[in-house]
Amino acid sequence: MNKQVSHVGIAALVLLAALIVGTTYWQTWANAGLANRQDNEIRLVAQFSIKRGRIYAADGKTLVAANVATKRGSQTLYFRRYPTGPIFSDVVGYSTQTRNRTGLEESYNDYLTGSNANLDTVFHSALDRLRGATVTGNDLVVTIRPSAQALALRLLRGKCGAVVALEPSTGRVLVMATNPTYNANLIEKHFALATRTSLPCGAPLVNRATVGRYPPGSTFKMVTAAAALDSGRFTPDSPFYDPGYCVEYGKQVRNAGNPEAPETFGHVNLSTGFEKSINSVFCNVGKALGAGTILDYAKRFGFYSVPALELPGGERVASGLYQHGRLYDPKHPDTQVDPGRLAFGQERLAVTPLQMAMVAAAIGNHGVEMRPQIVERIVAPGGKTITHLQPDQLGRPIKRQTADELTRMMELVVTGGTAPLAAIPGVHVAGKTGTAEIGRGNIHTTWFAAFAPAEAPRVAIAVVVENQLNGFGGTISAPIAKQVMEALLR
């Protein structure tokens, strides 16, 4: 019988050995995949047992994201509270139990939870874990100026739109405001309330500054003029004759204004065409340059690539021509794109406020474009700064001379052109208005892009406001830009 007993014994041992194999599978092979599952409460508890790093505004004092410690049974959990309510929601995002993280809470999660690979942090959090102490994350300081940010939101009240302000020489994002917005404190328990808005455009959770795609209208003339001057084909004094329209494909493309009696300027030069925003002038520039050249310059300014801002990938989009809701990069632009309409910013162009602010900033910074950045510094729990913002040059889309000529043309827009309401006493403001038709009668998307002071700009800005009946860039958006710039220059 002993032979059979050994057989049964071996069978029993094989069964038990299979348990070790099974355990190994779950604890090594399947481990990572399971840790990321949404319904994994252990992961959630681990996440909320960490004292997340706080987030401060640019002044280093205004607390934007804080923690509230809560005792649940034997464990202390830390939940987020956003002391500034809706003012920083679109930049900071939220971190809650039931929803995916957004904003910097998502893209800087590793730093905020102390799980980034920085040696200093790794050492500290490993020690904390060993001692069973609470792991504390790193604090963030963002580049957003709290008072200007609040002002921008106040100015947007009752409107749908966005304001983006950059520091041209460094790329710091000084203001990133979008309306309608939401109160991040309501996301967890009152999601329906947080996402409610009385504005017809809806979508308060969307950061219009980085994902809002708007027809740029005449603000795009900054790109077209840059291409015209930089390519050497035109100078600010190049002469044009404006009969009130431009002929394209045998048809008249009329200037803005009453369709029956469009504005007519007669003999002008390129600079005046820019100052008065004459469509026929830019239509002719476009025809002369070709759509390919204009799109090339747009790409130099960063169109067709998603801006490398520190927000999560899903919260940024590229600007450019859009067709059927997708970015459209034509293979043969000179035959596939209408150059005249492209030149004054209609065609199928869709541009984010961030991209437009980047164009203005690059012109103001003498042709050098800086990467927009929103995180000023990261501070370890001990108070030691791990990293601080390093200005990063994206490239030089246009020559210095082009930028300076364009700056003078943009100054004329404010001093004698379409944007007198953007003038700031004692400061030279350079800007460009935009009033884009959206195919619904007199309802426009109004733009203003600018920088100041013109000679050595400390701020570049783009303001967009949606769905303005009989509204114009110069009357709706320019005054908002002026006040925000004033606040930032103070």
Partner 1 sequence: MSTASLTYAGFFFAVYLIAHLATRYAVPFADPYLLPIAGLLTAIGLTEIYRLNPRDAFRQGIWIVVAVALFAATLFMLRHEYRRLETYKYLFGFSAIALLLLPILPVLGLTVNGARLWVHVGAMRFQPGELAKIMLIVFLAGYMREKREVLAQGRAKDWGPLLVIWVLAMLVLLETRDLGGGLLYYGIFLAMLYMATARIGYVAAGLGLFLVGAVGVWKVTPHVQDRVTIWLHPWTDHKVYCPLSGHLDLRQNCQSFQLVKSFYSIAAGGYGGTGLGKGTVTNLNGQQIIPDLNTDFIYSALAQELGLIGAAALVLVYMIFVLRGMRIALLAEDGFSKLAAAGLTFGFALQTFIIVGGVLRLIPLTGITLPFVSYGGSSVVANFLLLAGLLLISNRANRDLLR
- The reply to whether 99 sits near partner 1 by the rule CB under 8 A is no
Q: Which of 2, 198, 390, 442 binds partner 1 (CB under 8 A)?
A: 2
Cα(172)–Cα(71) distance, rounded to whole angstroms?
A: 39
Cα(481)–Cα(164) distance, rounded to whole angstroms?
A: 9
CB 471 within 8 A of CB 446: yes
Q: Which of 57, 60, 72, 411 binds partner 1 (CB under 8 A)?
A: 72
Q: Which of 63, 66, 97, 299 binds partner 1 (CB under 8 A)?
A: 97
CB 82 within 8 A of CB 94: yes
Identify which of residues 7 and 384 has a Cβ nearer to partner 1 in the complex: 7
CB 435 within 8 A of CB 464: no
Q: Which of 24, 235, 264, 305 binds partner 1 (CB under 8 A)?
A: 24
For 181, how many CA atoms within 13 A lie in the half-sphere containing its CB?
A: 31
Nearest to 344 by CA among 422, 405, 433: 433
Identify which of residues 26 and 241 has a Cβ nearer to partner 1 in the complex: 26
Cα(202)–Cα(373) distance, rounded to whole angstroms?
A: 28
- The reply to whether 45 sits near partner 1 by the rule CB under 8 A is yes
Report, in Å, the least distance between residue 123 CB and partner 1: 18
- The reply to whether 195 sits near partner 1 by the rule CB under 8 A is no
- The reply to whether 85 sits near partner 1 by the rule CB under 8 A is no
Q: Which stretch binds partner 1 (CB under 8 A): 69-77, 192-200, 235-243, 361-369?
A: 69-77
φ, ψ dihedrals at 281, nearest 5°: -60, -50
DSSP string, 294-307: HHHHHHHTTTTS--
Cα(430)–Cα(452) distance, rounded to whole angstroms?
A: 6
Q: Which stretch binds partner 1 (CB under 8 A): 11-19, 216-224, 293-301, 330-338?
A: 11-19
- The reply to whether 30 sits near partner 1 by the rule CB under 8 A is yes
The residue type of 369 is E
Q: Which stretch binds partner 1 (CB under 8 A): 3-11, 287-295, 357-365, 464-472?
A: 3-11
DSSP state of 53: P
Report, in Å, the least distance between residue 282 CB and partner 1: 52
DSSP string, 143-187: S--HHHHHHHHHHHTTS-EEEEEE-TTT-BEEEEEEES---GGGT
- The reply to whether 68 sits near partner 1 by the rule CB under 8 A is no
Q: Which of 23, 305, 335, 336 binds partner 1 (CB under 8 A)?
A: 23
Q: Which of 59, 60, 69, 75 binds partner 1 (CB under 8 A)?
A: 75
Identify which of residues 31 and 393 has a Cβ nearer to partner 1 in the complex: 31
The residue type of 85 is G
CB 481 within 8 A of CB 459: no
Q: Which of 53, 57, 61, 73 binds partner 1 (CB under 8 A)?
A: 73
Q: Which stretch binds partner 1 (CB under 8 A): 15-23, 84-92, 245-253, 372-380?
A: 15-23
DSSP state of 387: E
Report, in Å, the least distance between residue 28 CB and partner 1: 7
| Residue count, binding to partner 1 (CB under 8 A) | 46
Report, in Å, the least distance between residue 70 CB and partner 1: 9
Using CB under 8 A as the binding rule, the residues of this chain from 232 to 291 that contact partner 1 are none
Q: Which of 61, 119, 131, 132 binds partner 1 (CB under 8 A)?
A: 132
CA angle 51, 54, 57 (to 5 degrees): 175
Compute the radius of gyration of the chain from its Cα atoms. 27
Report, in Å, the least distance between residue 191 CB and partner 1: 17
Encoded tokens for 178:
């979008």
DSSP-derived pairing of the beta strands 139-142 and 55-56: parallel
- The reply to whether 456 sits near partner 1 by the rule CB under 8 A is no
Cα(164)–Cα(342) distance, rounded to whole angstroms?
A: 24
- The reply to whether 131 sits near partner 1 by the rule CB under 8 A is no
Identify which of residues 10 and 438 has a Cβ nearer to partner 1 in the complex: 10
Positions in the binding site for partner 1 (CB under 8 A): 1-9, 11-13, 15-20, 22-28, 30-31, 34-35, 37, 39-46, 48, 72-75, 77, 97, 132
